[in-house]
Structure 1
């Protein structure tokens, strides 16, 4: 296939970190990319090859495997691979093969190195992302407490083997821990029952104490995944009880290890892209909480975790759009599905509803609007089935207000900018985070540039957006304490969303308006604001450090909840943190409050 410069520009504008580059820099970069068309099964490079540069998947799927031929990840559209993280001194330490017919964009090594030197935002992205694809599934970087099954099935030593067999059948498990109180006395597996009981002809009322493996080999919760794997291989066992301070805390089985290694964002994306219904897709998206725990446990930075989780939502949306067109037929005119909110900013965590809209070609007729109403309903219903619940504020494409031709959207933005009342501020805040997901992105390109320019020129609108950015404040109390929620279900907790990350999100959006910056991602906005002089280098560095700490505290809180068997939320008791962690989190909130004060007093972000 051929790809003209306009198509390439639109594509890269949806790929981070290229979306943080200004138009002139992007125009210089476009001619440097080389297009590679690959047939299914074709090799991009092999272990030991000297790599040509950095690859970006434009279409298709690429499987990356290690030196033993074990798949590390399956990369889809917008994923980068090659020069960074998969090589040593320019020599490939992995093998990449096309899993389907694929189209790649290749940026030669010399040009990529030059880009890294000249664009700090690009360098930061690739340096932080280096190794992330490999880390997310490595046993060596994951603690046992993130792998184990908590509250394993137990029986007393006096219980019969028949009772244990029934329990294993009911729970569909292959072992039972034998306990005395909360202490581990032994373990009985399906193999023990088949060999020691059935094979030996023992009666079914034989007590477990007579056939169990007494005092089995155990590991502590502080062990890492590779400890379990090595122990299983050395001792030829398939079950390792986990003991903490002498008490049974959990168990890790071969099934747990297999399941852990099978879950990756790339694998979920691959499954979603092949799903035939929303119900099939829901089975895949149900794995997202476990993926979040895994990514956090592996030490990935928050912007990597949220980007990978958002990629899953993007893929689910595009798959639902394709299924809708299969059901309804081809769209009568070009359209563009866009996400706003956390999906638009590529900042989704374990708690996400859906925020989306449709922009339609101005050629659409009233008779054709029914098609797009049906398309919106199909996709929004499907997303809800997948766990992205309906937006409580009805900010969805199913709302006729948010399913309109481009000319109507243009009037929306003009009206919000011209008369920035509270409702206009709220709507503008949501819609300035729009990001194309599926369809014809050209419908948005001109509108976005036009709207940013008009917003930046209107000092009254900017002033109202400054006011809007100060509505959410960090939870700072007196005497170096926190201002926790005072009443209700979440009493005595910190809201790490509305009083944590949202104040930084609002500042990032304000900087984007002031600097006419196109990125929707908060971190990319702050970096871009620094590059164009909207934000000082020291201000950007302090705000980014504060944002990183707050966002990573939020993800760690959600991961703890998931591991404990609870639904993740954004409400964290300060007591969950050590004194050291509380002190640093408060310092981060102080930085955010200081930046809010700067814009609130008209000193701007350069103060």
Structure 2
């Protein structure tokens, strides 16, 4: 096979949606691609010109410029461009220009349209126009404080060029801040080392002040992403220092902007699906907090953020199962891996502990249990290595109690319903949030429906579940003010999990039980409960609005912590909120308390 053709095929195997094509189809597509090279600064095409095809970056970087001259996107390897024009009238809607020496692959128009018509995955990928446009809007409206790389490295003004170069090499950075008398004075970059030292034949012993850019253009953390793009375009620079109070607090580079646009849940899912080791999966999940902060900063709804985050956990779990089966061999009987807790409800705000179980086909023998114990251990250990730590309550498939044939699971649920003691209530609450992740879903479908039917008709069990849902109360004090934690490490804070979202989660579970609703996600349960008449339209809308505010406030708090380099938690200080925000949060808590009282009265009527 031609070496260039094999290079293209190997590259396409790492690029979505080409990686979803069959091997023969991918080889055919590879033959239709052509190479084009563009030096830095060269226009690839101008707005209004006829497009020759779809461009795919192999090496280098490309900036996309709108008709007003504003940069709307900075693209790197594996990014495509030109599809919007191809899907409309064949004319370029924007201008594309190489910012570095760039190599692109060009897919001819006819081949693009054939793939668009014949390949569903290809069509879905390039029909994401609204999403792409939204991401452009995201970067231009983001605060610089959310885009910048924090903790920039600074050096004294008398440091030698040689030592500066070594520091940049060892710390894997492309620039250093230079200080004089403790204040930011200038910037030195790897390009300065090339253009001002090597090219000019300067000694490596000269101080960095001799080659640095003194008093470079800077921005404040409160500036917008559009300010960064405009400055980089106008001044043709690749690094922008971020200054606050005369101190260098961050750097924004073209790489940061490219990386920002590359951070998407789809990219995480794709990378996780292709991972070959637990270490590779752990490297992916380590980036989830940054994704959460970015999604929150772009003002996505809380249910979108948590759904996208959970999708990554699901993919990681499925990949770990596949890797385990690769090592252990195929399962002896059909089985189903399920998640419960926040992953089951698709409400993960970041990496959290794991809650899972397995349902096995009733044909499983005692000897088969050895295989499933090994499978559970491989997956659970892998999840722990990826940051989904072991469940403190041992609600995991590694616990033999939670790795059983379907008939045993039926006995579990029947026993909890018929004998609703406190332990049964707790277990039922967890298990009502089960959601299939991988395997034979038929093992769960009938079990779920059977359980909902039995449970909803047992008024004593329902009453106990209602009582259990009232154990977590919103943080309301006297006169309906917001009550904070009185002592300990989190004194004067609100627990936005156990006193914020959990009370609504518990209510949603009760409504699903009362209405025999199959939804597991809290917001979906509330909407389904309204549609089924379990709660009134006005009560449902009030509770959904309250839940949205509480969940969004929690996510915004965690995103702030992530941006500040802290580990996110659920403890919010009222001092972080304005009077306006506190007032609305208090109103949301009042709504939750009111709905709890309503459910409590229903419980009294049952008993």
TM-score by length of 2: 0.78
Greater shift in the superposed pair: 160-169 or 461-470: 160-169
Query: Aligned-pair distance for 1:488?
Result: 2.1
- CA shift digits 1:307-359 (9 cap, x unpaired): 00000000111111111111111111110100000000000012411000000
| Alignment partner of 1:410 is 2:392 | no
- 1:135 and 2:134 equivalent? yes
Contact 1:132 1:300 in 2 (8 A): no
- Residue 375 of structure 1 corresponds to 375
Instruction: Tell me how far apart the structure 2 counterparts of residues 301 and 604 of structure 1 sit (CA, whole Å).
Output: 36
Q: Which moved more, 1:163-172 or 1:461-470?
A: 163-172
1:267–1:152 distance in 2 versus 1, CA, 3 Å:
same
Per the TM alignment, residue 159 of structure 1 is displaced from its structure 2 partner at its CA by 3.3
- Structure 2 counterpart SS, 1:333: coil
Distance 1:403 1:296 in 2: 37
Following TM superposition, by how much is the alpha carbon of 1:388 offset from its aligned partner in structure 2, in angstroms? 0.6
Deviations 1:534-584 (A, max 9, x none): 011111101011100111111111111111111111111111111111111
Once the two structures are TM-superposed, the CA of residue 376 in structure 1 deviates from its matched residue by: 0.7
Mean Cα displacement is larger for which, 145-154 or 414-423?
145-154
Report how many residues are paired: 516
The equivalences for 1:30-41 within 5 A come to none
Does the CA contact (< 8 Å) of 2:546 and 2:591 recur in 1? yes
Shift of 1:601: 1.9
For residue 533 of structure 1, what is the aligned residue in structure 2? 533
Structure 2 counterparts to residues 281-320 of structure 1, below 5 A: 281-320=281-320
> 1:513, 1:104 → 2: CA distance?
38
* Higher alpha-carbon Rg: 2
1:189-588 equivalences under 5 Å are 189-588=189-588
Matches of 1:443 and 1:165 in 2, distance apart? 61
Matched residue, 1:151: 151
CA distance in 2, matches of 1:302, 1:541: 16
The 1:247/1:105 distance shift into structure 2, 3 A limit, reads closer
How many Å separate the matches in 2 of 1:407 and 1:478? 50
In the alignment, the residues of structure 2 paired with residue 66 and residue 450 of structure 1 have an alpha-carbon distance, to the nearest angstrom, of 57
> What's the CA shift for 1:468?
0.4
Partners of 1:69 and 1:599 lie apart in 2 by 51
Alpha-carbon distance in structure 1 between the residues aligned to 2:362 and 2:480 = 56
Write the distance in 1 (CA, Å) between the matches of 2:164 and 2:379: 46
Within 1, Cα distance between the matches of 2:563 and 2:337? Answer: 34
Q: Contact (CA 8 Å) 2:469, 2:503: kept in 1 or not?
A: yes
Matched, 1:161 2:161: yes
Query: Partner of 1:526: helix, strand, or coil?
Result: helix
* Compared CA separation, residues 510 and 102, structure 1 to 2 (3 A): farther
Aligned-pair CA distance for 1:71: 8.7
Alpha-carbon contact 1:354-1:391 (below 8 Å) kept: yes
Q: Distance between the aligned counterparts of 1:511 and 1:133, measured in 2?
A: 37
Alignment partners' CA distance in 2, 1:458 and 1:106? 49
TM superposition shift of 1:102: 6.9
- In terms of mean alpha carbon deviation, does 202-211 or 318-327 score higher? 202-211
* Cα separation, 1, equivalents of 2:534 and 2:300: 29
Render the CA deviation track for 1:586-607: whole Å, top value 9, x for unaligned: 11111111111111122899xx
What is the Cα deviation at residue 219 of structure 1?
1.8
Deviates more, 1:504-513 or 1:574-583: 574-583
User: Structure 1 360/130 Cα, relative in aligned 2: closer, same or farther at 3 Å?
Assistant: farther
Report the Cα offset of residue 220 of structure 1: 2.1
1:258-313 per-residue CA deviation (whole Å, 9 max, x = no partner) reads: 22122110011001111111111111111111111111111100000000000000
Q: Does structure 1 residue 592 correspond to structure 2 residue 598?
A: no
Give the conservation status (yes or no) of the 8 Å contact 2:146–2:297.
yes
Q: Distance in 2 between matches of 1:106 and 1:467?
A: 50
- Cα distance, 1:162 vs. partner? 3.3
How far apart are 1:136 and its partner, in Å?
5.0
Change (3 A) 1:473 1:131: farther
Change (3 A) 1:194 1:104: closer
Question: Retained in 2: the 8 A contact 1:359–1:405?
Answer: yes
- Cα distance in 2, alignment partners of residues 237 and 255 from structure 1: 12
CA contact (8 A) 2:325 2:331 kept: yes
- Mapped to 1, the partners of 2:506 and 2:552 lie a distance apart of 18
TM-score (norm 1): 0.78
Q: Do the aligned partners of 1:38 and 1:98 also contact (CA within 8 Å) in 2? A: no
* Residue 59 (structure 1) aligns with: none
Unaligned runs of 5+ residues in structure 2 are 1-19, 30-63, 67-71, 79-86, 95-111
Report the Cα distance in structure 2 between the residues aligned to 1:324 and 1:193, rounded to whole angstroms.
49
